[in-house]
Structure 1
Amino acid sequence: MSTEGAMDAATAARLERFGRLPERIRIEDMTESKVATPDGTVVDAYNPERSWNYFSCLALDMGL
C-alpha cells in the first residue's frame, strides 16, 4: 500500500509542476515592426552592374 501512496505523491507533484499549459502569447506581442532607417530611405539599393561583386567564383579569384 505504501507504493501506491508514493506514486500518488509523485503524480501529485508532477501535476503541480506540469499540470497546465502556460498562457498563450499573441503574435503581436512576439513581433516588432520598425523602420530600417530613421528617414525611410533605402541605404543599399540593388545595383545590377555591380552585382558580380557579391559572389565568390574561383575562376574569377584566380584571374582566369
Structure 2
Amino acid sequence: MIQEETNVGAAETARRARFGALPDRVRLEDTVEERPATAPDPARDAYNEDEWLVRYAL
C-alpha cells in the first residue's frame, strides 16, 4: 500500500513538473514574417514616355 502511494506521489510530482505551468506567451510580432512575394524588378517599373513612339510610329 505504501509503495502504491509512493508511485502515485512520484507520478504526480513528475506530471506537475512537466505540465504545472502554462508556457510563456508568444507575441503576435514573433509569429508573423513579412517579406515580398516576388523580388522587385526595376526594369518592369521603368516607364519611358517615348517608347510608344518607337514601337508604333516608326
Give TM class, smaller chain.
Answer: 0.5 to 0.7
Aligned residue number for residue 16 of structure 1: 17
In our comparison, the structure showing a higher alpha carbon Rg is: 2
Secondary structure of 1:7's aligned partner: helix
Q: If the length of structure 2 is used for normalisation, what is the TM-score?
A: 0.53
- d(CA) in 1 for partners of 2:31 and 2:21? 22
Structure 1 residues not aligned, in runs of 5+: 44-64
- d(CA) in 2 for partners of 1:18 and 1:25? 18
Identity within the alignment, %: 40
Q: For residues 5-64 of structure 1, what are the alpha-carbon distances to aligned partners after superposition, in whole Å with 9 as ceiling and x for unaligned?
A: 2101110011111111211111110101122234388x9xxxxxxxxxxxxxxxxxxxxx
- Distance 1:15-1:40 versus aligned 2 partners, 3 A rule: farther
Aligned residues: 42
- d(CA) in 2 for partners of 1:40 and 1:19? 53
Q: RMSD of the alignment, in Å?
A: 2.5
Aligned residue number for residue 29 of structure 1: 30
AA aligned to 2:14 is A
Q: If the length of structure 1 is used for normalisation, what is the TM-score?
A: 0.50
Structure 1's consecutive aligned runs of 4 or more residues displaced over 3 angstroms after TM superposition are: 37-41
